[in-house]
Every structure is written in C-alpha cells, then in structure tokens.
Structure 1
Amino acid sequence: MVTVIFVSCCSALGIFVVVNFYQQVTDIYATATDYDPRDEMTKLFFATVQNKLHYAVHENTAAEVIYNRVDNEKPFVGMTNFKGNYVTKDDVKIAKNYLSEIELQRLNLLVSGFLDFAEFQALEMNPMTMKDWIEALDNQIIAHKRKVLIGKGNISHKQAIEKAEKEFAIYRKREMELLESDFDKEIKKLKDNNGKSSN
C-alpha cells in the first residue's frame, strides 16, 4: 500500500503553481522582442529557466537532481512525490518529483515571484528580450540570497534519463518479484487451509 505523499498537503500552500509554470514560461518567452519559434534558443530558454530555478533551490540542475537522487533501493526509487498510486517510468524522469517539502516550497515561491514580475512587465508594456528575462530571473534569485547557476551543470539530460530508466527497471523487477512471492504465499495458505478442511 502506498504511503500518502506530502504533495497533497503542499497544494494548499500553492505548490500547484509549479505545475502550470512551464507553459507560462513558454508564453513569457513568446513576448520577447527577439522571439523566433524556429530558433534553437526557444528550447534552450525553457531548459535554462528550469535549471536556474532548480539550482537556486538545491544547487543542482534538473538533470543533476534526478541523477543524484534516483535510487532503486529507496522507497519509490528515491522520489518524494508523484501522481497516482504507483511509480511509473515517466515519474522518475521529472526533477521536481525528488524534491523535499521545503524545496518544493522554495521552488513555488521563486516561480510565483518570477511570474508576478512577468505580469508586471506585461502590464507596463516594457519590451523584454530573452536576455532580459534571464537577467531578471538571476536578479530575483540573488534577491532571495540563493546561488545563481552559471553554465549548464555537470550532468546532461540524456545521462539523467538513462540512469533514471535503469534504476526504475531494477526497482520494478524487484517489486514484481515481491508481488509474486506474496501471491505464492497466499496460494500456499489456501491450499493448506483446504487440506485441513478435508481432514
């Protein structure tokens, strides 16, 4: 039986803001004066913002937190929160699923602050380039006395996903073996009980 994960109570604190944040980041970037949907920078902007936010919270990029915390020997493969009642292959690839309650709260506050700033700029009709948005995020992180990510980190997205999938495969195999073992025990009990009843 799956233990109740704290993410449900975090929703009352506004953690749900994070869920919709990434779409809003895309919308923010679309307002940049140098926006080009065909440019590779469109993809890089999302990754940069995500990594800067994660690093400000726990000094790891999204890839690093997955790579460093996924562990087939830990409950739920090292995750602290996920949707549904069972761990899935997709769950282990999501960085925020490995964050502690305090880390999720920090992330939510940073996200909320960044979105408030973006809304204010839109209200004032201030032109913003992609560089302006990144600098604004860096300044917000500094204002919160957190460290700003320089560069892309030490672990690639590919490395993180490969390790997550490998750890999940080991975890799932062991879980299935435990289920089969429990099933066999129940069958044996039934057989033993039936044998006693017939005597």
Structure 2
Amino acid sequence: CSIDYDKNSNTTKNFFASVQNKFHYAITGQTAAEIIYTHADKSLPHMGLKTWKNAPNGRVLKSDTKIAKNYLTENEIKNLEQSISSYFDHIEIVIGNCTTMTMQDLADSVNKFLAFNAYKILE
C-alpha cells in the first residue's frame, strides 16, 4: 500500500517497530521496552508473564520474556487488538479510495488515527 515500501529497508523495519511501540504506548502508557522492564520480575510466578508460548502449564522460554504483549492483562490485549484492527480497517478504506501513500504517510496516519481516538501518542 506504500509506493516506497521495501521489506528489506531500514525505513520499513523502523516503521513497524515504531508502530508497535505507538500502539503499546496508546494502550498502556509505556513502550514495549518499558513494559518488559517494569513487568518482568523473577520473584513473580512465570516472571510476571500473563501468557507465553507454552502457557499455561508449559515452561517459560527466554524468548517469551522479550515479547511485551506477553506481560499485558487480558483487557490490555483486548484493547490493543481492537485498536490495531480499527486502524487496519481505516487504512483499507484509505487505500480503497485510491490514495497513494508513502511510508511516511503511513507513519503519520498512525498518529492521526490515535489522536482521533483520544489515545496517548508516543512522540
């Protein structure tokens, strides 16, 4: 949907990481790194994880501890998924109207979408 999309470019990789952080921040007030930093606790059951690859009875893997979404509550996950789904619906409409977009346009559209929906915006 972007005229300058290149799956291997640093711009694209940074875009997806940035968007993920923007949605985490909108829902929790924290970036992915901050969620992990504030929630990971070896003194808690399962290191504070709410879910993980082999949940609920399987072993927690090191890779599970590096995924911010694994620390979110059920309600936070629901809100995150709902907001991302709404954003994708919005972008489908924009694209359906034959609007040409660059990666920067897409990045800007995330902030506009979050602002319209009264979410906190990560700058």
TM-score (ref. length: structure 2) = 0.90
Q: Report if the CA contact (8 A) 2:7-2:13 is conserved.
A: no
Q: Does 1:86 align with 2:56?
A: no
**Structure 1 equivalent of residue 87 of structure 2:** 114
SS of the residue 1:76 aligns to = helix
**Structure 2 equivalent of residue 36 of structure 1:** 6
Which has the greater radius of gyration?
A: 1
Structure 1: distance between partners of 2:13 and 2:22 = 15
- Could you give the per-residue CA deviations for residues 114-150 of structure 1, whole angstroms, max 9, x where no partner exists? 1101221232221011121112111221122111001
Structure 2: distance between partners of 1:113 and 1:135 = 16
Structure 1: distance between partners of 2:36 and 2:59 = 18
**Structure 2 equivalent of residue 28 of structure 1:** none
TM-score (ref. length: structure 1) = 0.57
Unmatched tracts of structure 2, length 5 or more: none
**Structure 2 equivalent of residue 46 of structure 1:** 16
**Structure 1 equivalent of residue 46 of structure 2:** 76
Structure 2: distance between partners of 1:113 and 1:75 = 33
Unmatched tracts of structure 1, length 5 or more: 1-30, 151-199
Percent of aligned pairs sharing the same letter:
39
Cα distance change on mapping 1:104 and 1:38 into 2, 3 Å: closer
Structure 1: distance between partners of 2:97 and 2:20 = 25
- Could you give the per-residue CA deviations for residues 11-44 of structure 1, whole angstroms, max 9, x where no partner exists? xxxxxxxxxxxxxxxxxxxx21222344311110
**Structure 2 equivalent of residue 169 of structure 1:** none
**Structure 2 equivalent of residue 144 of structure 1:** 117
Q: Going by fraction, where is helix more abundant, 1 or 2?
A: 1
The count of residues paired between Structure 1 and Structure 2 equals 120
Q: Does 1:64 align with 2:64?
A: no
SS of the residue 1:90 aligns to = helix
